[in-house]
Structure 1
Amino acid sequence: MQEYWKRNVALIRNLLIIWAAVSYGAVILLGDVLSKISFFGVNLAFWFAHQGSILTFVAIVAFYAWRMGKLDKEFDVEE
């Protein structure tokens, strides 16, 4: 059971790192570069700040649910 929680926490940590990189990295660190690129009529930095981070979060939640289903089956703790 300890291995199950270790892998669960590692998955959560990695997904949060991805979300932070998309949410903050694209807007703050790469903002100047991305603001020069047009995407659906707005600059890409603006799009990432308002839509991209939300879509990334939804994708991460879906991936987490799918991956935890597999992990639960692997450790025989599924509901």
Structure 2
Amino acid sequence: MGSYQSYWQKNLRLILICLFIWFIVSFGFGLLLVEPLNNFSLGGYKLGFWFAQQGSIYTFVGLIFWYSSRMNKLDKEHGVGEE
């Protein structure tokens, strides 16, 4: 039972980390900090605009791959999926 609880605690921690990072990038960089970030440019676009339009999407896709790799490692660590 302890292994089950440990597995889900670690899983929920990964989910919360992903949600926190995505929130910071999409809401923080894309809305709250857009004016200060617009003083910089990326690929000819203002950085605040870029985060609002593309940055949060790229971050989300990157988080999917990161979460998947961490969950594969966690599954192996706890023997999930082995028969």
TM-score tier by shorter-chain length is over 0.9
User: Does 2:81 correspond to 1:78?
Assistant: yes
TM-score normalised to structure 2 length: 0.89
User: Does 2:41 correspond to 1:38?
Assistant: yes
User: Does 2:69 correspond to 1:66?
Assistant: yes
Which of 6, 10, 21 is the aligned partner of 1:7?
10
Q: Which protein shows a greater Rg?
A: 2
Residues 69 and 78 in structure 1, CA contact (< 8 A), matched pair in contact too: no
Deviation at 1:20, TM superposition (A): 0.4
User: What secondary structure does 2:81 align onto?
Assistant: coil
Give structure 1 regions of 4+ aligned residues with deviation exceeding 2 angstroms: none
TM-score normalised to structure 1 length: 0.94
How many residues are paired up? 79
Deviation at 1:29, TM superposition (A): 2.1
User: What secondary structure does 1:77 align onto?
Assistant: coil
Deviation at 1:78, TM superposition (A): 2.9
Deviation at 1:5, TM superposition (A): 0.5
Gaps of 5+ in 2: none
Deviation at 1:4, TM superposition (A): 0.3
Percent sequence identity over matched residues?
49
Output the aligned Cα RMSD.
1.0
* Cα separation, 2, equivalents of 1:78 and 1:51: 36
What is residue 21 of structure 1 aligned with on the other side?
Answer: 24
Q: Which amino acid aligns with 2:45?
A: V
